[in-house]
Structure formats: C-alpha cells, structure tokens
Structure 1
Amino acid sequence: MIKKILATIVASVISVSSALAVDYSGKTVTMWIPFKAGGGSDTWARAIGPAFSKNLPGNPTVVVKNVTDGKAIGASNKYFAEHGKDKDGLVVFGTSGSVQLPYIFKDERVRYQYKNMVPVFASGTGGVVYVRKDMGITDIIKDFDKLKGSKLVYGSQGKTSLDAVPILAFDMLGLDVNVVYGMKGRKAGRAAILRGETTIDYQTTASYLKHVKPLVEKGEMVAVMTWGAPVGGKVERDPNFPDLPSFPEVYEVVTGNKFKGTEAKSWTALFYAGFATQKYVMLPKSAKRDVVKAWQNAAAAIVNDPEAMKVLNKKLGKYDQVTGSKNLKSSLKKATSVDSKSEKFLQEWKNTK
C-alpha cells in the first residue's frame, strides 16, 4: 500500500515537473480555427484563449487565426500539412462538428486523421428545434399528428454537415420535410424561416438564446425540442432547456419504440460528433509529452476558473467541459467513430438525401 502511494506521489511530481519544463514566456500561441471570424468556433476560441494564456506556463499571448482556405475541410487539411509534425505546441488546432462529421461520412476531401491528433480540451453544446408560430404547433408531442401531416421545409448547409443531425432526426420521426440545400450556415437558415421560406429550423444553444429565444417570447416562433445532452451514457434533456423534450424522448413517445438499434446508434454518433463534444483543442501527435501535459494541465485549470467558466457558459450554454487524457480519448472516440452497421447505414442514408 505504501509503495503504491509513493509511486503515485512520484508520478505526480514527474508530471508537474514535466509541465514546468515547458515555458512559453514572451511567446505567442496561435489557435488555428478553420472557420471565419464571428462564427461559433471563433467565439469559443476567443472565449477560452485568455484562460489558456492565464494557465499555460509563462502566460503566453494566445491569438486566434481564422483560416478559411477550402472552407472547414480544406483549412483543416492545411493545418496538418503545415503543422502536423510540430512538437512545441505553439500552433494548436481547433476542431468542430463541421470537421468531425465529414470525417465520419468519409468525405473524399478529408485528408486529416484523428489518430494523428491529441485532444487536450473539449467543449459541448446543444441545439434547439423550432417552428413558425403560424403552423399551429404548440407542443411537439401533443400536436405531433398535425406536425407529421404538414409539408415542412428545412434550409440546410449540407447533408454531411451538422445538418445531418436534424435531417436524420426528421427522417426517424417520419416527418415530411423538403430539405433545401445551399444555405451558408445556420444564420442563413434562421433568416429563411424568418422570411417564411422555410417552416422548421434549429440553432445551436448560443445562437438560439441570442437570436431565437426573443422571437419565441414575442410569440413569433415556437421551440419544440432539443437534441439533448449526454448524461450517464444516455442522451437526456438538455439542462439549459429542462422544459423541452430531447429528440430521443420525442422519438420514443411518438413512435412507441425504444431509442435503440442501428438508426438510433447512428444518430447518437452524429450527435456526439456535432454537439455533445463538438469542439476540441488539438495538438498534433508529434507534440512532445511535456508539451501535451502542459496543455492538459492548463485545460484542467480552466474548468476550475469561475471567470473563464462564466464566459464559456454565457457563450455556449451550461455544458460540461471535458479534460483529462482518459476522458478526452473516450469522448473523441465517440465523436469520430461508428460501428460497422452504423457506418453502412449512414453511407446508404447519405446517398438517398
């Protein structure tokens, strides 16, 4: 027992001393974000940047670099082409659901591999589905027959984007939805429903709270469900919207079926990739061990920093942040891999959309 305690103490001392061997004093650390300024990933990066500056050894300046060459996929490919062999942790990568989902769908444009990334921090978010008030829907479960009998229109930015989550959900509920592609982000989708061009939409938690909730309060839109949030290995109600049912809850009530099987597993994989652990701070696999440890220690300090968490909760909603090597590896596996049956199902489903 004493030997075990001593071994733990020694390991802790080695861990701390390794992290202290990294010194970013007077240096600038860059967070490479493969999205334009002003979007969700950019907002997230700028929210956590000061917290990392405060907690990384030497308190470096942390700046956000928005790279949009080739959009999300092309900019992600570019990061690993230019920094895939870096060892010093001075240029880190910020991934997101729009990077995870094309990877799951085996998009031929993808050149990056998650096996070549080391996660050091992860954040989740949620999504809220809403409809126009003039549809006469006030409760998705009580009014489901009416919703199912309606010809719905949804504006999508692409079937292998985050929109795969709502589109598959609509299919599983048996809704008659005309998916109109070509939207340049959820902002465009929100504008379309405001103009009456579409009838059903979703927004991420932060966007919903900022842009849609005021419309719900005015009586112009009606929130009907959320995607949910991971709780104890299951997808339960989103803690930010406890009065709204989660999609799995709606599915079970209106279909009379348990939320299980290949379709449910496939949707859950997409949900983890796009929402539950949507955003990661990554180092390339080539990063030195003490560099990885320094970043992981800084990330762990963030969740214990009330000021940093206040900013994150305001920007993204109140969701758990993921830290610690074991937790990060587990969450990344859920967000970037599917079993063989789900993979086959998703490929076939994608080809029908």
Structure 2
Amino acid sequence: MLKKMIAVLTALVFSASAAFSVDYSGKTITIWVPFKAGGGTDAVARALTAPLSANLPGNPAVVVKNMTEGGGIGSVNTYVAKHGKDKDGLVVLATSGSTQLPFLFKDKRVRYDYKNFVAVHGAGTGGVVYVRSDLGVKDIVKDFDKLKGSKLFYGSQGISSLDAVPALAFDMLGLPVKLVYGMKGRKGGRAAIMRGETTIDYQTSSSYNKHIKPLVAKGEMVALMSWGVQKGNKIVRDPNYPNLPSFTEVYEKVTGKKPGGKEFQAWSAMFSAGFTTQKFLVLPKGTKKSVIKTWQKAAAGIVANPATMKVLNGKLGKYPHFIGDKDLKVALKKASSMKGSTYSFLKDWLASKK
C-alpha cells in the first residue's frame, strides 16, 4: 500500500512539474486560420490573440496567419501535412463549421480526421439572415409572399460547407433561392450582396455585428431572422438578437406546422456542428500532454476573466465557450459526428444541389 501511495504521489509531482516546464518565453505562437481575413473564424482568432498571450506561460507573441491556398479544406489538409506531428503547441489550428461539415459530409477533398485533433478551446456562435433593402421586404413573416416572389440569389462558397445550413433552411421554407457558387468564404458572399450581385445572405454573428449591422442601421440591408440558439432540445431566439425570430419560429409561422422529419433532423445536426459547437482551436493528437494541459489552462483563464470576456462578448456575441478536457472532448465529438440515417439523407440532398 505504501509503495502504491508513493507511486501515485510521484506521478502527481511529475505531472505538475511537466505542466510547469512549458515555457513560451520569447516564442511566437501562430493561429493557423484556413480562411481570409475578415470572416468569423478570423475574427475569433484575432480576438483571442491578446488574451492567449496574457495566459500562456512566458507571455509569447500570438499572431494570426490566414492560410487560404486551397480554400478551407485545402488549408486544413496543409496544416495536417506540415504540423500534424508537432508536439510543441507553437502552431494551433482554428477550425469552423466550414471545415467540420465537409468532414461530416465525407467530402473527397478532405484529408484530415477530427479524431486526430485535440481541442484546447471551443466556442459557439450564431448567424443572421438578411436581404438587400431594395427588395422591399421588412418582416420575413408579414412579407413572406413578397420575399418568396423576389429574385433571390445567394453567394455560396460551396454546398459542402457551412452554406449547407442556409441552403437547407431556404428549401424547408420553400424560398426559391438560387445558389451562386465560387465565393471565397462568407466574406466573398458578403461582398457580393453589398455589390448588388446577390440579394440574400447570412453572416456569423461576429461578421454580422461588425460589417452588416451598421448597414441595417443605415437602411441598406434588412435583417430577417437568426438561426437561433440551442436550449435543451429546442432552438429558441438568439439572445444577442432578441428582436429577430429564430429559423424554427419563422418555419412554424409560415408553414403552420412545427419543424420535424428527416429534413429538420438533418438541419439540426448541421446547425449543431456548424453553430452550437462551431469554433475550435485544436492541436495535433500527438502533442505533449503537458502542452495540451497548458493550452487548456490558458483557455480556462480567459473564460474566468470577466473583463476579458466582456471584450470578447462585445466582439463576438455572447455564446458558450467550451473549456476543460472533458467538455472539449464532448463538444468536438458533437461537432464532428453524425448519425448514419442523417448522413444518408444529406448525401442525396447534397447531390441534388451540385
């Protein structure tokens, strides 16, 4: 018994000393963002640079690199090829729904597996659907027939991306939205509607707040609905946009029935992976345990600081943050797994959109 106690104490001391041995003094930490600057993932990464620097041992410089060659999927493939065996935590990958959903869809271009990542920080987000004001639509429920009769064009980065969420939502509502492919991220979609090339768009909360909300205030764009947020088994209004109905609320009002069936099950699965558990910072699975613990401790320090969270919530919206190894594992699994029946439905639906 005494030998066993000594062994346990020795292991604890070794574990503690290993955690303290991580020191990033004089180092530069890179957040690898697989999208252009200006998008939601980029906004989250840039908002975290100063807090991470303050909470990581040695207060290293933390910089964002927008690695866009090959698009989001190609960039994550490149991260895995170049840094998949790293152990030091110097280059961390920022993922989003636009990299998670292609993995769930078994996109042939994907060369990464979420089972080979370890999450050190996670966060949810929201999204807002809006249209150009020259459509003359003010309220999505009251003016639904007018919206349905309008020429609706949506700038998409590809159906095997986060854009599958709005595309299926539009289908469920019976809106005749034409998808215009070739956009470089949601930033490209935003630029297209601002130029008048498209008429309907959505942005994640951080991008909407920064770029579109001011245009809504000027009367150039009109916000129609948010996707909502998960509350238990229900999707309710996003508290960041209390005056906007959620997608499920709009669906019920314009169709006269509650959402359900295979379509809604598929949409809910994508919403969960693309929004409820959307943004992650991940390291390769082979990263030293002491490094992973150090990163997770830094993330916990950020979330525990009210002043820091006030700044982050102001920039990104107030959404759940996932910290601690146990909660992060659950969140990452939820974001990167899907029932076989749901996948079968989506496989056919995705094929119909190509």
User: TM-score normalised to the size of structure 2?
Assistant: 0.89
Contact 2:123–2:320 (Cα < 8 Å) also in 1: yes
Consecutive unaligned residues in structure 1, runs of 5 or more: 1-8
Deviations 1:329-348 (A, max 9, x none): 22212211111111011111
Three-state SS of the structure 2 residue aligned to 1:139 is coil
Name the residue aligned to 1:313.
Answer: 313
Pairs within 5 Å for 1:130-279: 130-279=130-279
Pairs within 5 Å for 1:33-72: 33-72=33-72
Distance 1:14 1:243, change over 3 A: farther
Give yes or no for the alignment of 1:32 onto 2:16. Answer: no
Output the CA distance in 1 between the equivalents of 2:226 and 2:302: 27
Structure 1 stretch displaced more, 46-55 or 146-155? 146-155
Output the CA distance in 1 between the equivalents of 2:329 and 2:200: 35
Distance 1:69 1:212, change over 3 A: closer
Contact 1:86–1:287 (Cα < 8 Å) also in 2: yes
Amino acid at match of 1:124: G
Distance apart, 1:305 and its partner CA: 1.8
Distance apart, 1:170 and its partner CA: 0.1
Three-state SS of the structure 2 residue aligned to 1:65 is strand
Three-state SS of the structure 1 residue aligned to 2:263 is helix
Three-state SS of the structure 2 residue aligned to 1:51 is helix
Deviations 1:109-159 (A, max 9, x none): 111000000111012221111123333322212222332333422222211
Distance 1:69 1:198, change over 3 A: closer
Amino acid at match of 2:77: N
Distance 1:73 1:188, change over 3 A: closer
Amino acid at match of 2:314: K
Aligned length: 345
Amino acid at match of 1:153: F
Contact 2:36–2:185 (Cα < 8 Å) also in 1: no
Report sequence identity in percent.
65
Name the residue aligned to 2:343.
Answer: 343
Name the residue aligned to 2:4.
Answer: none
Amino acid at match of 2:350: K
Distance apart, 1:10 and its partner CA: 11
Contact 2:38–2:187 (Cα < 8 Å) also in 1: no
Name the residue aligned to 1:22.
Answer: 22
Amino acid at match of 2:322: V
CA root-mean-square deviation: 2.3
Amino acid at match of 1:182: G
Output the CA distance in 1 between the equivalents of 2:66 and 2:245: 36
Give yes or no for the alignment of 1:280 onto 2:280. Answer: yes
Distance 1:185 1:32, change over 3 A: closer
User: TM-score normalised to the size of structure 1?
Assistant: 0.90
Three-state SS of the structure 2 residue aligned to 1:245 is coil
Three-state SS of the structure 1 residue aligned to 2:160 is coil
Structure 1 stretch displaced more, 315-324 or 27-36? 27-36
Contact 1:266–1:338 (Cα < 8 Å) also in 2: no
